[in-house]
């Protein structure tokens, strides 16, 4: 057994974003595409490197052409790229120099280069400053990855790249039926807690809302804040918690209606019930000072056993690696059932592929960018990623037989218990920035300023319909 022990030294994870959804279809654009994404005039197009396709070179790259990549430096760090992916790529293509750079400000650094027609060949579009990927696709700036997914796997004989991925991985980055993104990191979302603390106190993870509030009372009596999140920069964690509960009440259709800007989606019964339940948690069990704190500050309080439950994704364990004491062992629980008539079971969870990687259509070497992604989708690279980041990937079975960290083990257990009841969640946060911004502000008001569920729903409904009526916003639909 190989023990996964490496801890990537990272500053923070500002945001895990997902690309497009399974079955994503772009509707005809209404109005002009966002002016921030240039279409790439012919006189701006770089001369592109090409090679001869063969069994050993299925994407037809020029084996001597350099490949420029840029990676977002967040909670996952960049060591997986410099220490795993690039050496693996260069072992096969020793004359293809990889030029690496990293940034915490993807849009600020990359968008001007896209507009100028001189983008890097492969881009990790992530973080709170990520680019509008839907606009990039519509502007023809992202390369079609059909040939990548149809190519032979890097290290699994007899299978294509697509064959080696978890179900839905290709479709998740598809627009109008064509794949333009590779969503690499597979994240499990839920309520994170210290298993050692819970074991020592004899606290049982709740499955019903009544059990949840009863446990919160016990936790509060023990002098610990029962539940919390950072209002300053991580209120979207709370948005996800609330909408996960709504999906369990009324199935994922409630979230699809929100994504599709359907009138009445935000005031529908599942959203109202979820908002009311979580508003009660905010009124009774949250520390109001968390409104002004950043996520790392709140996460540190949890590591110090000042906070019991924290809503987050499975990147949390790695992000807090340097601050996690020996007395703390990460574990994750599914969000409890809100009602006795929830349409999804208590074990149902939200889990999805995230972290957008794409090849730039107007780069000097887009095929080289795709080949770099093919290397990333090898089992060897995927296992290296998991070792360094404590995060799973979309490469099926890449971590099988490995001893993995406590938090990731717990997340795997949660996936097993959920079975078929794993749903992707919502997509409006990557489609419509104004709606995403409003949801964060509304979640903060709900949880820190009174818990008025009706006010939350009405506010979000108004914001949704304002986006729906805005002809300058490119619309997408989800089936």
Between 13 and 161, whose confidence is greater? 161
Q: Is the pLDDT of residue 31 over 50?
A: no
Domains 25-186+352-423 and 189-349+429-477 share a fold: yes
- Return the pLDDT at 38: 54
Give me the mean pLDDT over the 74-92 stretch: 95
Q: Which two tokens stand for residue 183?
A: 């969503």
CB 357 within 8 A of CB 172: no
pLDDT digits (tens, 9 = 90+) for 235-268: 999 999 999 999 999 999 999 999 999 999 999 9
CB 357 within 8 A of CB 109: no
CB 155 within 8 A of CB 85: no
Q: Which two tokens stand for residue 174?
A: 């598809």
CATH superfamily label, 189-349+429-477: Periplasmic binding protein-like II (3.40.190.10)
Count of CB atoms situated within 10 Å of the CB of 178? 12
- Return the pLDDT at 45: 61
Q: Is the pLDDT of residue 162 over 50?
A: yes
Between 37 and 92, whose confidence is greater? 92
Count of CB atoms situated within 10 Å of the CB of 469? 9
CATH superfamily label, 25-186+352-423: Periplasmic binding protein-like II (3.40.190.10)
Phi, then psi, of 428 in degrees rounded to 5:
-60, -25
pLDDT digits (tens, 9 = 90+) for 39-68: 544 445 678 888 999 999 999 999 999 999
- pTM, whole model, 2 decimals? 0.76
Share of the chain above pLDDT 70, in %: 91
pLDDT digits (tens, 9 = 90+) for 295-327: 999 999 999 999 999 999 998 998 899 999 999
pLDDT digits (tens, 9 = 90+) for 330-377: 999 999 999 999 999 999 999 888 889 999 999 999 999 999 999 999
Q: Is the pLDDT of residue 161 over 50?
A: yes
- Return the pLDDT at 397: 83
Domain boundaries, the chain: 25-186+352-423, 189-349+429-477
CA-wise closest residue to 167 among 353, 305, 35: 353
Handedness of CA 220, 224, 227, 232 (dihedral sign): positive
CA 339, CA 351: separation in Å to the nearest integer?
22
Q: Is the pLDDT of residue 163 over 60?
A: yes
- Helices 209-221 and 269-285 meet at what angle, rounded to 10? 10
CA-wise closest residue to 389 among 321, 330, 318: 318
Strands 330-333 and 349-359, by their bridges, are unpaired
Between 273 and 21, whose confidence is greater? 273
- Return the pLDDT at 49: 84
Express the helix, strand and coil content of the chain in percent, nearest 5 each: 40, 15, 45
Mean predicted lDDT score pLDDT of the chain: 89
CB 413 within 8 A of CB 220: no
- Return the pLDDT at 134: 82
- Return the pLDDT at 135: 87
């Amino acid at each position: 057994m190989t023990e996964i022990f490496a801890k990537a030294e990272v500053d923070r994870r500002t945001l895990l974003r997902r690309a497009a959804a399974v079955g994503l279809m772009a509707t005809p654009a209404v109005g002009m595409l966002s002016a921030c994404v240039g279409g790439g005039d012919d006189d701006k197009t770089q001369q592109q490197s090409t090679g001869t396709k063969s069994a050993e070179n299925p994407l037809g790259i020029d084996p001597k052409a350099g490949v420029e990549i840029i990676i977002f430096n967040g909670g996952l760090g960049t060591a997986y790229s410099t220490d795993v992916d690039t050496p693996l790529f260069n072992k096969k293509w020793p004359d293809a120099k990889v030029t690496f750079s990293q940034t915490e400000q993807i849009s600020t650094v990359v968008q001007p280069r896209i507009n100028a027609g001189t983008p890097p060949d492969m881009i990790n579009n992530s973080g709170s400053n990520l680019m509008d990927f839907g606009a990039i696709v519509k502007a023809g700036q992202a390369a079609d990855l059909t040939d990548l997914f149809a190519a032979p796997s890097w290290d699994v004989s007899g299978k294509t790249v697509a064959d080696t991925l978890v179900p839905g991985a290709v479709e998740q980055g598809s627009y109008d039926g064509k794949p333009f993104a590779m969503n690499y990191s597979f994240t499990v979302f839920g309520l994170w807690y210290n298993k050692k603390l819970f074991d020592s106190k004899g606290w049982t993870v709740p499955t019903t809302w009544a059990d949840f509030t009863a446990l919160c009372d016990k936790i509060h009596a023990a002098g610990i804040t029962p539940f919390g999140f950072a209002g300053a920069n991580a209120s979207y964690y709370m948005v996800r918690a609330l909408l996960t509960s709504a999906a369990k009440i009324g199935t994922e259709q409630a979230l699809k209606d929100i994504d599709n800007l359907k009138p009445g989606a935000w005031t529908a019964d599942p959203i109202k019930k979820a908002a009311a339940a979580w508003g009660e948690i905010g009124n009774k069990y949250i520390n109001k000072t968390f409104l002004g704190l950043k996520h790392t500050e709140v996460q540190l309080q949890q590591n110090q056993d000042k906070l019991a439950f924290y809503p987050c994704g499975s990147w949390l364990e790695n992000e807090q690696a340097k601050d996690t004491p020996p007395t703390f062992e990460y574990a994750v629980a599914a969000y409890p059932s809100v009602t006795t008539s929830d349409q999804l079971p208590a074990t149902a969870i939200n889990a999805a592929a995230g972290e957008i990687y794409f090849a730039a259509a107007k780069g000097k070497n887009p095929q080289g960018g795709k080949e770099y992604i093919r290397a990333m989708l090898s089992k060897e690279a995927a296992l290296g990623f998991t070792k360094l980041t404590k995060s799973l990937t979309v490469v099926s079975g890449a971590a099988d037989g490995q001893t993995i960290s406590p938090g990731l083990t717990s997340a795997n257990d949660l996936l097993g218990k959920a079975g078929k009841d794993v749903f992707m969640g919502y997509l409006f946060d990557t489609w419509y920035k104004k709606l995403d911004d409003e949801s964060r502000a509304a979640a903060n008001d709900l949880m820190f300023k009174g818990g008025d569920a009706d006010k939350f729903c009405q506010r979000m409904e108004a914001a949704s319909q304002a986006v729906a009526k805005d002809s300058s916003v490119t619309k997408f639909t989800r089936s």
